[in-house]
Amino acid sequence: MGIDPLFLLILLAVVAVVVVLMLGLGGFAKGSGWAQKNSNKLMQARIAAQFVAVLLILAYVYFNRTGG
């Protein structure tokens, strides 16, 4: 039995959240002008990615629950 495609989507969504978070934290730590200009957009992107990840996790749990 192979890996569930929905599980792979969850992994990609979680990686996307981590990447956006690291970009935001890295820019904040450096204090660069780029980070100041884009911090709000990065936060919005992180929140959107987290929302998608949570929805995918909920869908995975819903579709893979065992009737008990």
Quote the CA–CA distance of 60 and 52 in Å, as a whole number: 12
Q: What distance in Å separates the CA atoms of residue 29 and residue 25, rounded to the nearest whole number?
A: 6
Q: Give, for all 68 residues of the chain, the pLDDT tens digit.
A: 688 899 999 999 999 999 999 988 888 777 777 777 888 898 999 999 999 999 999 999 999 887 64
Number of Cβ atoms within 10 Å of the Cβ of 39: 14
Q: What local confidence, expressed as pLDDT, does residue 9 receive? A: 96
* Both tokens assigned to 16: 């996307």
Can you give the residue ranges of every domain in the chain?
14-63
Which of 51, 40, 41, 59 is CA-nearest to residue 17?
Answer: 51
Is 0.85 topped by the overall pTM? no
pLDDT (0 to 100) of residue 31: 76
Helix, strand, or coil here: 62? helix
At residue 26, the pLDDT reads 83
